[in-house]
Amino acid sequence: MTAALEHAQALIRLPSVTPEDGGCQDWLEEKLAPLGFHRQRVDMGGVTNSIFARPGERPGTLAFLGHTDVVPPGPAASWPHPPFAGVVEDDVLHGRGAQDMKGGIACWLAAIEEAVADGAPLPGLQVLITSDEEGESVDGAVRIVEVLAAEGHLPDAAIVGEPSSSKAVGDVIRRGRRGVVQVVAIIRGQQGHSAYPDDAVNAAHLAIPALHRALEIDWGEPAPGFPPTTCQITNIEAGTGAMNVIPGACRVTLDIRFNPALDFDGVETRLREAFAELPDAAVELDIQRQANAFVTPDGPFLDFVAAAIERQTGLVTRRDTGGGTSDARFLAARGVPVAELGLTNDTIHQVGERVRVAELETLTGIYKDIIQGFEAQP
């Protein structure tokens, strides 16, 4: 049994449904302290956050950003093995967090162990871990980054251990993500009897043309290399449940994923225009700016990561910007080059999450290559 597999099993066996850490970061401290790392706790709002730092023997600081929290496992009876047992069967590791992302943390830890054991000079290393990535992300990685910035300890670059790969480890890295705006729209009319529509104002009828306008918004040309901005209606609620009552209110939620050709103000302006034809008293908009878009431009760091992947696997990686958002945005907002590089992601958040054991070894090799070869760019 390899170190990466042992570490992944140990972490999976510490249940840590968001925002709980379940003792994972204390376990990491036990493993990292003998390797020269010092732990700085940045706990806030019931969230466990840690900065593990090791001084370098040569210039530059490379960070790894990860999270120990996982999504709920769902019905345990539906899993082929208990979700927090870390069972290996037919060279596959089963358990919540196997791919997202306790497996990735395990690989980075194993890579550090091997790199330190080799005895060659290493750059400064930071292991930045939160227990609030799968939840609100309010008191998690953002707080870690605030502390690093305030103390002047931001890294020169960072690997984020999200499961970025598609079919094989290293075939995809994410260098950016779209931003997120979420909207709660409440449209008000006048409840009444469906047989007497002249005495009522149907809130659902008011909402439909406004929603149609929202779906037809011209978001402009997307930034190069990014998917276009999308707007999805995710919930519609109206009525009392009775078949003969005209609804007096309609509540709708929208989820907008916007590319870097737009900013929060541009998204909000277009949304308000879509609802502007309704009387002010008839609509209430709560526009929530959840996450900004970010991108690490092509350059030395991404080239370096891609070269490490090719050396270890022979793959020419694809530099992608798809998917949702991630904690990488908090470092990117401070000007830190980031690359999301991790295991495959075909079972994340699913009942029966699992990863092939061979993937852990491949990713450990890539991570070790990156750790040993990293040099800060002038």
pLDDT, tens digit, 9 for 90 and up, residues 218-246:
999 999 999 999 999 999 999 999 999 99
pLDDT score of 324: 81
**Tokens standing for 267?**
């998204």
Calculate ∠ Cα 346-351-353, nearest 5°: 45
Residue 378 has pLDDT above 90, yes or no: no
Question: Cβ distance 296 to 257 under 8 Å?
Answer: no
Average the pLDDT over 294-304 and give the result. Answer: 95
pLDDT number for residue 113 = 98
- Please tell me the pTM assigned to this model: 0.91
Rounded Cα gap, residues 71 and 92, in angstroms: 20
Please, which pLDDT band fits residue 323 given cuts at 50, 70 and 90? confident
> Mind listing the pLDDT tens digit for each residue in 67-109?
999 999 999 999 999 999 999 999 999 999 999 999 999 999 9
Q: 123-143 pLDDT, tens per residue? A: 999 999 999 999 889 999 999
Q: What is the pLDDT of residue 146?
A: 98
Which residues are 72's β-sheet partners? Answer: none
Fold classification of 179-291 (topology level): Alpha-Beta Plaits (3.30.70)
pLDDT tens digits, one per residue of 145-186: 999 999 999 999 999 999 999 999 999 999 999 999 999 999
Rounded CA-CA distance 332/297 in Å is 11
pLDDT in the model for residue 325: 87
Of 20, 113, 133, 340, the active-site residue reads 133
Ranges of beta strands (E only) in 108-178 are 124-130, 157-160, 172-174, 176-177
CATH of 3-177+293-373, one of 3.40.630.10, 3.30.1950.10, 3.50.50.60, 1.20.1090.10: 3.40.630.10
CATH 3.30.70.360 domain locations along the chain: 179-291
Specify whether 30 is catalytic. no
User: Is 69 part of the annotated catalytic residue set?
Assistant: yes
Distance CA(122)–CA(115), nearest Å, equals 8
What is the structure's pLDDT at 377?
A: 75
pLDDT score for 123: 98
Work out the average pLDDT over 280-304.
93
Output the pLDDT for position 280: 81
Of 335, 297, 371, give the one whose Cα is nearest residue 148.
Answer: 335
Q: Rounded mean pLDDT of 289-313?
A: 95
Asked if the bond preceding 123 is cis, omega within 30° of 0, the reply is no
Q: What is the pLDDT of residue 376?
A: 86
3-state secondary structure of 362: helix
Per residue in 37-47, pLDDT tens? 999 999 999 99
Query: What per-residue confidence (pLDDT) applies to 14?
Result: 98
Q: What is the pLDDT of residue 65?
A: 98
Of the listed ranges 37-46, 172-181, 297-306, 316-325, the least confidently predicted one is 316-325
Of these residues, 21, 69, 139, 340, which one is catalytic? 69
Residue 300 has pLDDT above 80, yes or no: yes
d(CA 50, CA 154): 14
Q: What is the mean pLDDT of the chain?
A: 96
Give yes or no for residue 261 having a pLDDT over 80.
Answer: yes
